[in-house]
Every structure is written in C-alpha cells, then in structure tokens.
Amino acid sequence: MAFTMHSHSGQFCPGHAKDQLEEVVQRAIALKMRLISVTEHMPRTHEQDLYPEEVEAGHTSKMLLPRHEEFLEEGIRLRAKYEGQIQILIGFEGEWIRPTYGPVIRGLAKEPEVDFFIGSVHHVHGIPIDYDREQYLNARQMADGSEEKLFGDYFDAMYAMLQDIRPRVIAHFDLIRLFSDLPNQDLKTWDSVWEKAVLCLKMIVHQGGLLEVNSSALRKGLLEPYPSRSICEEFLSLGGKFTLSDDSHSVAQVGLNFARVQKYLQDIGVETLWYLERLSEEVAKTCVAGSLRIKSVALNELDMKDYPYTINV
C-alpha cells in the first residue's frame, strides 16, 4: 500500500489546482493508499507574495488565513469520516519566501490540528521560480542574469529555510530546474551549486528530515522526478531517508507516475521509503516526541503497477 506525503486541492488552492479535498482523499482510498498527507499551501502574509492568478481573481492576503482555517477544519472532518479506510495527516506547505516567514511558519505549526509541515522554496529574490518561464527569467535577472548564480541563490535560500524552521519533510528539492534553460542538466556541472546542494542534503540528514521524491516533475515534462539522480545518489550515500509524494493538484494527479518513481529509485539503489504516522491518542500522551512517529516500508513491497502514469515524448 503506497502513500503520499504531499497533496493539494482546488478547494483550498484555487487557481492552479482542481477538485474538492474530499475527492482527492477518495481517490487515494480507491488506489488503496495507506496514508495521505493533505498539505495545502500556507497563507502568505503580504500582497506582494500573491501569484498573478490570485491578483487577477481579486484575492488579497487577508483572505488566505481564513481559508487555511477552513482547510484545517475540513481535514479534521475527513479524518473522522474515513477512519479505518485511510490515515490522513493534516499539514501545510511552509513556503520560505524570505526570513520573515520563519515566525509565520512556526506559528502556523503550533495549531493543534496540524500534524506537521513541509518545507519548500518557491521563490528566489522574492520572485516565484516555478510559476512560469517569465517569472523565472525575472528571478534570473535579479541574479545578474546568471543561471548558475540563480541556482546558487536558490540553495542558499534552502539552507536558510532548513536552519530556521527544521521541516520534517522537504519538498521538491531541486524545483529550480523546472523552467531553467537545461532542466535535465546534472547539478554537478556547476561546482559551486553542487557544493551548496550537498550542504543542504547534509543538513537534512543531520536534522533527521525526510527528503521527498516528488513525481510531479514527470507530469511537467522533466525526465526525472525531484530530486534528480545525482542528488538522490548523494543523499543515499549520506544515509538520508526518502519519502514519497505526488504533489497532486487534482484527483487525476493522485499517485500519478508512482510506478515510474519506484523504478527510478530501484535503479538508484534505494530499498526503503519512510513516512510519518499518527500515534493513537493514548500513546501520544506519553510520547515525548509528539503525536507522530516515523515508519519505514520496503520499496519493493509497494504495489503501484496499476497506478496512472504519463509518458514523456
């Protein structure tokens, strides 16, 4: 039975996602997943951080926190409704836009409904680098027009994020690849970038974080998931723990390309995946570490051959 540690819905991520959160959960159940983490994007606190589609729709930053609270309430409802069919973790994607978001993320994580949060970097120099090519180029211009420098700045932001908020799960580690000139290029091509990426990987291992292998890169046309092969090989050599995510933004994307990810990881030599699991209330009361525990599953035990997939052409 597979799982996903990272998912979204159109209900709470309007604009670039589709479908109701309950429909996403129902799809995970239909795929016989053991666990789904519902992890909508955190509410951003400044108008300048709204995406173009949000501005066009007339959204404001003041609208985001109430929507986040509605999401937490819906997560609790769905967990109770589907108890015994699937385990539901309630989290959010903590987006590191600038250091002032550190206290915001930590504050959101204290909400009693929240099991954990994902750490991610979607912005460099305050500009989204995975929204579209135009925004990516704007960010690159802020890095003196240099792709190598932009990648380095991205991993600098990643390292700052890891130091500050210590996420238990790290999302799409090399997301910066998506709209770059050569998205399938090995990061080892740039010594300075590779050194910064490895520093981040070492920090994740030191903190005991889980590095997600994120299948969404495949549906977006990249040849490898996030992270790319050289990063996965390095993380494996460091003794790091991998987890699995579809980063779905619709029902159709739940579990999408998981079979391809499984083969990818097997070829690299990964044998074990890790995930977080809720403890029972009675056990959690006596557990110093909190209400979650980390569990492992053998990669070859996951039956995902009938999961949906895309073919890159």
Q: What is the per-residue pLDDT across 129-184, written as a single tens digit (0 to 9) for each?
A: 999 999 999 999 999 999 999 999 999 999 999 999 999 999 999 999 999 999 99
Rounded CA gap, 116 and 17, in Å? Answer: 22
Output the domain CATH number for residue 45: 3.20.20.140
Lowest mean pLDDT among 130-144, 180-194, 269-283: 269-283
Rounded CA gap, 74 and 1, in Å? Answer: 24
271 in helix, strand or coil?
A: coil
Q: What is the per-residue pLDDT across 50-82, written as a single tens digit (0 to 9) for each?
A: 988 888 888 899 999 999 999 999 999 999 999
Rounded CA gap, 297 and 4, in Å? Answer: 13
Give the length of the chain: 313
Domain count, the chain: 1
pLDDT greater at residue 286 or residue 296: 296
Rounded CA gap, 220 and 312, in Å? Answer: 9
Tell me the H-state helices in 101-249.
Answer: 101-109, 133-142, 147-165, 191-207, 216-219, 229-237
Q: What is the per-residue pLDDT across 207-255, written as a single tens digit (0 to 9) for each?
A: 999 999 999 999 999 999 999 999 999 999 999 999 999 999 999 999 9
Does 78 reside within a domain?
A: yes
Is the confidence at residue 26, as pLDDT, over 50? yes
Does 151 reside within a domain?
A: yes
Instruction: Work out whether strand 169-170 and strand 87-95 pair parallel, antiparallel, or are unpaired.
Output: unpaired
Does 309 reside within a domain?
A: no
Based on its alpha-carbon atoms, the radius of gyration of the chain, rounded to whole angstroms, reads 18
Does 274 reside within a domain?
A: yes
Does 181 reside within a domain?
A: yes
pLDDT value of position 281: 59
Is the confidence at residue 41, as pLDDT, over 70? yes
Band of pLDDT at residue 205, cut at 50, 70 and 90:
very high
Q: Report phi then psi at 169, rounded to 5.
A: -130, 135
Does 306 reside within a domain?
A: no
pLDDT greater at residue 188 or residue 16: 188
Instruction: Work out whether strand 123-124 and strand 127-128 pair parallel, antiparallel, or are unpaired.
Output: antiparallel
Range of the domain at 176: 3-301
Is the confidence at residue 201, as pLDDT, over 70? yes
Does 9 reside within a domain?
A: yes
pLDDT value of position 14: 83
12 in helix, strand or coil?
A: coil
Does 51 reside within a domain?
A: yes
pLDDT greater at residue 283 or residue 202: 202
| 3 state SS for 84-133 | CCCEEEEEEEEECCCCCHHHHHHHHHCCCCCCEEEEECCEECCEECCCCH
Mean pLDDT over each residue of the chain, to the nearest integer = 95
51 in helix, strand or coil?
A: coil
CB 65 within 8 A of CB 104: no
Q: Residues 6 or more apart from 170 whose CB is under 8 A from it?
A: 118, 119, 120, 162, 204, 209, 210, 211, 212
